[in-house]
Amino acid sequence: MVQKIHSYKKYKEDYQESVEDPGKFWGKIAESFLWRKKWDTVLESDMANADVKWFQGGKLNITENCLDRHLEKNGNKTAIIWEPNNPDEESRYITYRQLYVKVSRFANVLKNNGVKKGDRVCLYMPMIPELSIAMLACARIGAIHSIVFAGFSSTALSSRINDSQCKLLITANEVYRGTKPINLKAVCDEALENTPSIEKVIVYRRTVEPTQMKEGRDSFWFEELQKIENFECEAEEMDAEDPLFILYTSGSTGKPKGMVHSTGGYMVGSTYSFQNVFQYQKDDIYWCTADIGWITGHSYIIYGPLAAGATTVMFEGVPSYPDYGRFWEIVEKLKVTHFYTAPTAIRALAKHPLSLVEKYDLSSLKVLGSVGEPINEEAWHWYNDNIGKGTCPIVDTWWQTETGAIMISPLAGVTPLRPTFATMPLPGVQPALMDEHGKEITESPAEGRLAMKAPWPSIARTIYGDHQRYKDTYFSAYSGMYFTGDGAYRDAMGNYRITGRVDDVVIVSGHNLGTAPIENAVDEHDAVVECAVVGFPHDIKGNALYAYVTKYDEVRISDDELRVEINKLIASSIGAIAKLDKIQFVSGLPKTRSGKIMRRILRKIASNDTSNLGDTSTLLNPEVVEEIMEKSLV
Ligand code: WTA
């Protein structure tokens, strides 16, 4: 098992060593995993060319680390506790041995369906144990899973399937989120109208509703299992650098980026950070409320916790059902020790009466976590006072889909906290603040753009099918460094506080949304000439979306009807998560003389921060700024 850092002194020593001799440092950590063959070199890196390789020559299978190696001593330990959407339905407890059997058996199903090492398999599934089983089964046979969050629309699903040419799709017929049924299979059927690479679809029957199945293409999960007699499946031997999964994240341009994660480095990074940030101990019950469709779920519901032999909770439902006490009811019921959620959820819960918290016994809690967006002061204190009762360290974990693992965060109970600060980098992480001229700012306190000076094991290796874009997006801003897209402030002690995105990505309710694809969806409406979408601060969601839209003169429907139609277009091309909160119709968008929309000004107006708009005289059409401000919906 990975050695845990137990003291602030040890943290400082390890940090020092990780900077001075990364090879030695990570080599030692990697030794604690199960490798079929040890690596030849720990690190080979050429950041300027976006070329990073860890543990080259090493051979392994991540599922042997997540499952097989626990069997002897911990086979009967609970690996996954599943909590259903409906509190009256029974929870499921799955031991490591049971999970091992289920994964092996399903891995044989995949093989039976012609899936081979290197093939891409798309998972569009609800938060049920079968999602974890399918995911690990892919890893078992060396297939690359591409999990698409089940809130995405059919168009978003098909574009992701096509981008990575998935061969097989795994889904469920239907799922309830709160009281709302969601027919996932129907979304898949729509997506599958233009996904020629998909040969087969396996459908898990989550509800008893009748399900449309297409002869020759679709089959049910249970039918597929029945065809399998062999409950053992030898794990495929993988190179450390072989891809483990693809996960899409939004970018500044329309097309989502399929981030590719490696097998060896990702395993080491996700597990090491899990152990150290959360300080998980043997009998702890760890719960991360994220959806597995996002990176947080990949690294901190499945891979990190399972490789560390932890008990990890998976929750199918929503924080508001049957009421806003649900999270706390589950904490009490399962005696959760570690609770990891997003600020947006905390803010939503804090709006409801405290009696919903006080009703439950939260004394099992030891560590609280936050992820996905900056946590504001008020939410931090509410979380600390009412949930942690002032005794649970809050780990505010900053990281990204691209980083694979937590990068900047306190280590629970080990390193000092500072509210609203992600605080210090983990060992192996070397942040830099960059000024507007692209120079590193070495003094503190200071504010700048956040970059990384050195590679870490779980860094994404490429964007699927487009290495040039990977290089351009992350390695071209600052020579030899990785650029995060975030801004940050560093205090005199060296604590980092993330201030938010500095590009055209907006984090809404903890979800990364690129404004470009949303604008594309709005532009599709016949009545729309053009539009600009920006983020603005929102009480609960952190940020919400504001669109400025110019429309054609002869529009037959009312503004309100047009708003509804625009949001429908967004829901169908991306998903409901990307809907606009405000849509203002304007006679023109502020543009530079070269025709670029000045989003900076629009962002300020949307944020009701118009005291200093900067110089607008260089605009092609300064008069529209006045008009936009006058009719602003803020
Ligand atoms: C933001 C989620 C402030 C940040 C793991 C980053 C945060 C983006 C924090 C990545 C945090 C994540 N404090 N901001 N603790 N954690 N972010 O890829 O802007 O969904 O770049 O990964 O979320 O979002 P992603």
Q: How far is residue 555 CA from its own chain's centroid?
A: 40
Is the beta carbon of 273 within 6 A of some atom in ligand 1?
Answer: no
Distant-in-sequence, close-in-space partners of 433: CB < 8 Å, separation ≥ 6: 440, 441, 446, 447, 448, 449, 450, 451, 488, 490
Distant-in-sequence, close-in-space partners of 515: CB < 8 Å, separation ≥ 6: 252, 504, 505, 506, 532, 533, 534, 535, 545, 599
Is the beta carbon of 158 within 6 A of some atom in ligand 1?
Answer: no
Torsion of Cα atoms, 594 then 596 then 601 then 604, to 10°: -160
Integer Cα distance of 149 and 1 in angstroms: 31
Instruction: Report CA-CA distances (Å) from 152 to 124, 442, 475, 489.
Output: 9, 42, 29, 33
DSSP letter string, 57-92? T-EE-HHIIIIIHHHHHHTTSEEEEEE-SSTTSPPE
User: Considering the chain, what is the average pLDDT of its residues?
Assistant: 96
Other CB atoms within 10 A of residue 613 CB: 15
Q: How far is the CA of 7 from the centre of ligand 1 (A)?
A: 27
Instruction: Report CA-CA distances (Å) from 186 to 159, 181, 212, 213.
Output: 16, 12, 8, 10
Give the residues of the chain that fall short of pLDDT 50.
none
- What is residue 254's predicted lDDT score, i.e. its pLDDT? 67
Q: How far is the CA of 249 from the centre of ligand 1 (A)?
A: 12
* pLDDT per position as a tens digit, 281-330: 999 999 999 999 999 999 999 999 999 999 999 999 999 999 999 999 99
Nearest protein Cα to ligand 1, atom 10 = 400
Q: Which of 593, 600, 587 is nearest to 617 (CA)?
A: 593
Is the beta carbon of 397 within 6 A of some atom in ligand 1?
Answer: yes
- What is residue 2's predicted lDDT score, i.e. its pLDDT? 76
- What is residue 3's predicted lDDT score, i.e. its pLDDT? 76
From the CA of 505, give the closest atom in ligand 1: 19
Q: How far is the CA of 300 from the centre of ligand 1 (A)?
A: 14
Going by DSSP bridges, is the β-strand pair 431-434/394-397 parallel, antiparallel, or unpaired? unpaired
Tell which one of 257, 398, 420 to mutate to probe ligand 1, the residue whose CB is within 8 A of the most ligand atoms.
398
Is the beta carbon of 291 within 6 A of some atom in ligand 1?
Answer: no
- What is residue 612's predicted lDDT score, i.e. its pLDDT? 84
- What is residue 123's predicted lDDT score, i.e. its pLDDT? 98
DSSP letter string, 148-182? --TTB-HHHHHHHHHHHT-SEEEEES-EEETTEEE
Residue 180 buriedness (CB in 10 A; 0-12 / 13-18 / 19+): exposed
User: What radius of gyration do the chain's Cα atoms show?
Assistant: 24
CB-CB contact of 161 with 198 (8 Å): yes
CA angle 483, 489, 495 (to 5 degrees): 100
From the CA of 501, give the closest atom in ligand 1: 19
Is the beta carbon of 266 within 6 A of some atom in ligand 1?
Answer: no
Q: Which of 277, 275, 236 is nearest to 29 (CA)?
A: 275
CB-CB contact of 132 with 125 (8 Å): no
- What is residue 557's predicted lDDT score, i.e. its pLDDT? 93
- What is residue 617's predicted lDDT score, i.e. its pLDDT? 74
Q: How far is the CA of 372 from the centre of ligand 1 (A)?
A: 4
Beta bridge partners of 512: 507
Residue 503 buriedness (CB in 10 A; 0-12 / 13-18 / 19+): middle
Q: Is the dihedral of CA 444, 458, 292, 69 positive or negative?
A: negative
Nearest protein Cα to ligand 1, atom 6 = 400
From the CA of 249, give the closest atom in ligand 1: 18
- What is residue 144's predicted lDDT score, i.e. its pLDDT? 98
- What is residue 219's predicted lDDT score, i.e. its pLDDT? 98
Q: How far is the CA of 528 from the centre of ligand 1 (A)?
A: 32
CA neighbours closer than 13 Å in the CB half-sphere of residue 435: 8
Is the beta carbon of 373 within 6 A of some atom in ligand 1?
Answer: yes
- What is residue 620's predicted lDDT score, i.e. its pLDDT? 85
* pLDDT per position as a tens digit, 431-444: 999 999 999 999 99
Decide: helix, strand or coil at residue 545.
Answer: strand
Integer Cα distance of 313 and 301 in angstroms: 7
From the CA of 408, give the closest atom in ligand 1: 15
